[in-house]
Structure 1
């Protein structure tokens, strides 16, 4: 549009009613095309006469720009309404989620056309009301390709992709949009094989032209399949049909190469791009960062000829991803008018690095929030263990009038599971259903886990059964739920019904059988896993090592250790802890070798060694390990001291044991449990200091259980103290049936 046309506000054409109206309508439409609503309104107000086109143009312009009240005012005073006028107003209501106004208007329309039906269908889909959308679709006497596309788009957005596909197969006519929507629907739920099969149909039957949108969604599919060779094959096709210079296709290709780990190919492709847009630069900066090549990301950032907000935001996210929050914040502060994406990047950076207070402060200062902002804040709070606050933020989001996203609901359901507030979880489930998200796979998985945590496997199973689309996480969540609720048979039946297993599935079943004491079956399950060419993960081996230790199967344990070494998991923290535990259960000092070979240690590592020393009477080693633990900055806990006390008891080091017990209370401010008192009584009893042991039981602030009395009784037998033995036996008979399986019984031997 020329500057002179933009600056002109009033009509100045020679007077002729029809010509005048025609020229003014033309100007109004041009102004609306460039978003100049207020200028268009001035032209509208200056017109002495208007026709239906004039009214319809302005009402439609206001509706498309979300200025519904302005559209309503014109609609109400318009005396020359036709079907286009009604449809323009209807579309405005539907687009802005004002479904009840749209319904009332639709029912009042004196005449309807395909466009009005399509607008109403889109309105229903906007609020997730698939029932009324389908009802309206079914009663339409005439449908066009846009009608069908609206329906399959709605089904895909609600996660009901198989229903969308059934409708897609019935379409009498399809266009490029139909195929792109259908393929994208499968991509969104991670069903990349089905998405690729659809693309092959296009390519094979040539039903529609391979345009930019089709190629881009095909590249997204290949990216999801994690097949870099497929991406490269598409690159050849792109060149063949003449899209190799298209910057959008080029950027999608670049994204496919980077996401599939072919960074060198991506660099070469990027360097050969004749035109680069912001997304091309952000893709490469992000790829460098995710591959740990932050210096390369910085170097590329400095080479960008025109650093836009989007590119600066990508660099800021890269800094945050690598824990360099100060550098990220400097970039953020340099942006004069950061957009909501930039604010979200900084917010996510704080949340992902555990800086929740900083995230809260930033969130409070945000001038504009979108659904991503709320989701990042809720997720950050859940990750930091502030589950109640996360649920409060969800309530604020709902009260703001904005519908929570699927990720917000998923995080909120996890918060309910973490804090045990299952009543709030049920309320969230109701809201999910009301908003039409109940068919979303991620939310469905969250519901399965949440109800399983609440020990309501009936509802958890119902949530699973009601899902229109299930992924492998859905099956695994149900298996874990059955396992954690001691429903081993149901877990096995579910496992056998699974269309496909992954490592998590096998690990879940291994864990279930190990916890149920079915060690031999767990071993057989592991052999079946290997027989199906499923590679074990670092979480597989702790279960197997636990079984080997419990069964005292030394040969099996060493075979598993050899496999661990072969697969490169020997230095992993969880695996190392499992090896230590297994060897000490064998009574072998190889546990110390496993400990020394670990590159990383946590408190569990140190406690596992101390417990092993206690079980086997390696008292000198226990003392050395404890001193080394303190020297490396680890603070001992109740388990640490229990291992020490047991070791001292086995070796008869009474003075040392009493000193450690006193240190635990006075220096570390750790309150002794019944297990610690039992270990102390065992220590004194073994040394023949029976009166002191009895005094410990009488003075301790806890009620004695059967185990501690049995420990003292055994000491009385050893030292032939019949009188005290009879007294303790009497007390033991009084609490008969309360025999504990406390781990401290291993100190008695």
Structure 2
């Protein structure tokens, strides 16, 4: 385990004692009364009034210099004998934050302490905000701790600083303290505390706290506040509580573009892309006065990418161009991702090439696009081009390029990239990076090496790591390692039905039927259900959904008839249905009937019937493509002379002339 120490605050010296008043020697006046010139100390030339006027002049000078962005000159004036007021310190603090100068900020803070403003709550708020902007969170805490007159604004400033720095749990603890001392929350408090729940690591304790805050909001009459309720939608979305997010959204008396965007993003990020597009359509129909912004468009493009809805994505691209949103980096990066995940890599590359400016997210979009299509060498090439262009890779860059190596079987290249993370880029591997390496080695049937990586990890292996190992054990039928991986997964994710189903599949492959029955009993005892297979296909700009053994589709008889005819032709050409993957106690005919009812086969048949001859069929699946569907789709692409693109949960499969781009390596 890596041990990290929190940075220590920069120590401020204690304020110096005020200097003694200057010694003034008063000269005795020897002239006759009334005939002499008034002395300097007389009321007609009061030194207090002169000093005050000079101080006012210097304050105005400092303030004007700050407003013009001349911080260094303002600090030189400050270093002279001045008497700054609250407004002067406020502008100096703001200038230090704008110019990103921690050293100048410390200097202003020191001067402020020396002049007795250390208990000014207004300036304490400004100082906390400044230190937050300058990533000096320890100094922000120190200001808060030393301020005795804590108004709600001082509390809110620290809540904001801690939430921005990702210290969500500390915000929750402080919020509890604030309630205990009896300071009432305002709308800013609720926003910052809810955001603290969002930025922290997901956990049931934080979700419970978020729901408690939701109750506080309603009790104190903030249920109609659009900004607070929108933040609530974000919070529930972060925890995957789509139902609760939807309830909050539906009950909002007023919605703005941010509210709509938050709910669309909630659907897009929680595996409900179809609902995201439906809500976007509803937004356009119901809110003529609200125009979608760049955040909205990013979520909508993510939904199109998830569904491989190319025609929908093209329409959205046109809308982006008409609205002039094509200069916004997150939107263009989302366009690159959308085209890549809809199977149009050439178009994704074109959009990328036309970008005037690129950030690491843009490069990651392209790297990931080549990776999911199985073009590992091209993904590595783009990764190297990014580094040459001067953009340092992010942790996500390595997740993308290591994933690309895994899909392409580039083991040695992947190991070199993994080793370069710390050595060349000072990025310490996270659970996601280790999971990529386990997947890379496991797919290549180097399971012993994969297991060794897990044993030598310096951080605790999470479900992703053990899940990668279990998936590889299924591919290579390694029962012993599968049992070890599943045992850890059952501890870490006791309610994830997918792990039990995967182990049952491995036992079934090994003809260990008693063990299969034991796993099924575990599923029943814990009341868990397998996630049903589902596919989506876009035909004539409409998206259709299919579930396995779907009897509700109006064309179901036509689809079954087509698949049955194709099956008979394929059998004559050597196709053998892989009935071993059906774990029901049925005869051979019954098992074949279940195989023909798989959602991807129904989607392919629907595409053949309802799309134009020669048109490419694009399908998205929520699970891994099964071996039988993979084999059948290869045959269909050959018989029908159609190109068929299927994107499963792992990667793209391009079927053409009876061959798949994955080369049966998935």
Range of TM-score over shorter length: 0.5 to 0.7
Residue 426 of structure 1, aligned match among 281, 291, 294: 281
Q: Which has the higher contact order (CA 8 A, sep 6+)?
A: 2
Residues 256/648 of structure 1: CA separation in 2 closer, same or farther (3 Å cut) = farther
Q: CA deviation at 1:575?
A: 1.0
Residues 415/619 of structure 1: CA separation in 2 closer, same or farther (3 Å cut) = closer
2:614 is the alignment partner of 1:614 = no
Higher helix share: 1
Q: What RMSD, in angstroms, separates the aligned Cα atoms of the two structures?
A: 4.9
Partners of 1:282 and 1:314 within 8 A in 2:
yes
Residues 694/300 of structure 1: CA separation in 2 closer, same or farther (3 Å cut) = closer
1:680-705 deviation digits (Å, cap 9, x = unpaired): 97599xxxxxxx99857578798145
Matches within 5 A, 1:314-329: 314-315=157-158, 321-324=167-170, 325-329=172-176
Q: CA deviation at 1:480?
A: 2.0
Distance 2:178 2:590 in 1: 63
Distance 1:217 1:620 in 2: 71
Give the match's secondary structure for 2:395.
coil
**Which of the two has higher C-alpha Rg?**
1
Question: In the alignment, which residue of structure 1 is the partner of 2:316?
Answer: 460
Q: CA deviation at 1:334?
A: 3.2
Question: In the alignment, which residue of structure 1 is the partner of 2:214?
Answer: 360
Question: In the alignment, which residue of structure 1 is the partner of 2:386?
Answer: 529
Matches within 5 A, 1:472-487: 472-487=329-344
Distance 2:577 2:426 in 1: 39
Partners of 1:503 and 1:534 within 8 A in 2:
yes
Higher strand share: 2
Residue 156 of structure 2, aligned match among 303, 307, 313: 313
Question: In the alignment, which residue of structure 1 is the partner of 2:345?
Answer: 488
1:41-73 deviation digits (Å, cap 9, x = unpaired): xxxxxxxxxxxxxxxxxxxxxxxxxxxxxxxxx
Distance 2:503 2:664 in 1: 11
Distance 1:390 1:213 in 2: 48
Residue 334 of structure 1, aligned match among 181, 203, 211: 181
1:112-164 deviation digits (Å, cap 9, x = unpaired): xxxxxxxxxxxxxxxxxxxxxxxxxxxxxxxxxxxxxxxxxxxxxxxxxxxxx
Distance 1:500 1:546 in 2: 26
Question: In the alignment, which residue of structure 1 is the partner of 2:401?
Answer: 544
1:594-643 deviation digits (Å, cap 9, x = unpaired): 2221514332221211222333344333333333444x543274543455
Partners of 1:484 and 1:512 within 8 A in 2:
yes
Q: CA deviation at 1:341?
A: 3.3
Matches within 5 A, 1:81-160: none
Matched length: 485
Question: In the alignment, which residue of structure 2 is the partner of 1:147?
Answer: none
Distance 2:385 2:62 in 1: 47
Residue 584 of structure 1, aligned match among 434, 437, 442: 442
Distance 1:341 1:267 in 2: 27
Give the match's secondary structure for 1:539.
helix
Partners of 1:657 and 1:683 within 8 A in 2:
no
Question: In the alignment, which residue of structure 1 is the partner of 2:71?
Answer: 235
Unaligned runs of 5+ in 2: 1-59, 200-205, 534-575, 599-630, 639-643, 650-661
Q: CA deviation at 1:497?
A: 0.7
Partners of 2:71 and 2:96 within 8 A in 1:
no
Partners of 1:378 and 1:394 within 8 A in 2:
yes
Question: In the alignment, which residue of structure 2 is the partner of 1:377?
Answer: 232
Q: CA deviation at 1:505?
A: 0.7
1:148-189 deviation digits (Å, cap 9, x = unpaired): xxxxxxxxxxxxxxxxxxxxxxxxxxxxxxxxxxxxxxxxxx
Q: CA deviation at 1:528?
A: 1.8
Q: CA deviation at 1:583?
A: 1.0
Partners of 1:388 and 1:415 within 8 A in 2:
no
1:172-218 deviation digits (Å, cap 9, x = unpaired): xxxxxxxxxxxxxxxxxxxxxxxxxxxxxxxxxxxxx9984884585
Residues 312/564 of structure 1: CA separation in 2 closer, same or farther (3 Å cut) = closer
2:451 is the alignment partner of 1:604 = no
Question: In the alignment, which residue of structure 2 is the partner of 1:503?
Answer: 360
Distance 1:351 1:362 in 2: 17
Residues 554/409 of structure 1: CA separation in 2 closer, same or farther (3 Å cut) = closer
TM-score normalised to structure 2 length: 0.59
Question: In the alignment, which residue of structure 1 is the partner of 2:111?
Answer: 272
Partners of 2:329 and 2:357 within 8 A in 1:
yes
Distance 1:542 1:647 in 2: 27
Give the match's secondary structure for 1:307.
coil
Distance 2:306 2:664 in 1: 35
1:382-404 deviation digits (Å, cap 9, x = unpaired): 334455655665565555xxx73
Give the match's secondary structure for 2:323.
coil
Unaligned runs of 5+ in 1: 1-208, 219-233, 685-691, 708-731
Residues 433/451 of structure 1: CA separation in 2 closer, same or farther (3 Å cut) = farther
Distance 2:579 2:385 in 1: 47
2:594 is the alignment partner of 1:594 = no
Distance 1:452 1:392 in 2: 26
* Larger displacement relative to structure 2 (306-315 or 573-582): 306-315
2:601 is the alignment partner of 1:703 = no
Partners of 2:421 and 2:427 within 8 A in 1:
yes
Distance 1:351 1:555 in 2: 38
TM-score normalised to structure 1 length: 0.54
Question: In the alignment, which residue of structure 2 is the partner of 1:82?
Answer: none
Partners of 1:289 and 1:318 within 8 A in 2:
yes
1:542-581 deviation digits (Å, cap 9, x = unpaired): 3322333343333322222222342344531211110001
